[in-house]
Amino acid sequence: AQTVTQSQPEMSVQEAETVTLSCTYDTSESDYYLFWYKQPPSRQMILVIRQEAYKQQNATENRFSVNFQKAAKSFSLKISDSQLGDAAMYFCAWQGGSEKLVFGKGTKLTVNP
């Protein structure tokens, strides 16, 4: 079965600094997608970034970028110039051919002013 592991239950960062959230996954499929979702205290799930496994180029969305290492099955999220509004739970997720999302347990990010 596919698994997604987020080894950091909690992380903190100073405002304006950079932080990296880790995610590893296990799969035997070769064609899949990886996601980072943000869940603020309002509990709305917000898509942060999406990576297609067959694309070698790392996805970026403004201050958010990923380091996708397919051979190592690693998919970390880097947040640059952290802002107070970035404070949230961050979930890494994997999607294979079935369209189902498999989520990690999440990392709680605190941004200190």
Partner 1 sequence: GAVVSQHPSRVICKSGTSVKIECRSLDFQATTMFWYRQFPKQSLMLMATSNEGSKATYEQGVEKDKFLINHASLTLSTLTVTSAHPEDSSFYICSATVGGRQPQHFGDGTRLSIL
Instruction: Give me the residues that bind partner 1 (CB under 8 A), please.
Output: 33, 35, 37, 42-47, 50, 91, 95, 97, 99-101, 103-106
Phi-psi region of 30 (alpha: psi -120 to 50; beta: other; left: phi over 0): alpha
Name the DSSP letter for residue 83. -
Q: Given the complex with partner 1, which of 99 and 113 has the nearer CB atom? A: 99
DSSP lists the bridge partners of residue 96 as: none
Q: What is the dihedral of CA 109, 10, 21, 94, to 10 degrees?
A: -100
Supply the minimum distance, in Å, between the C-beta of residue 41 and partner 1.
Answer: 12
Supply the minimum distance, in Å, between the C-beta of residue 18 and partner 1.
Answer: 25
Cα 95–chain centre separation: 13
Q: Given the complex with partner 1, which of 15 and 29 has the nearer CB atom? A: 29
Longest dimension (CA), the chain: 42
Q: Given the complex with partner 1, which of 25 and 37 has the nearer CB atom? A: 37
Supply the minimum distance, in Å, between the C-beta of residue 6 and partner 1.
Answer: 9
Supply the minimum distance, in Å, between the C-beta of residue 105 and partner 1.
Answer: 5
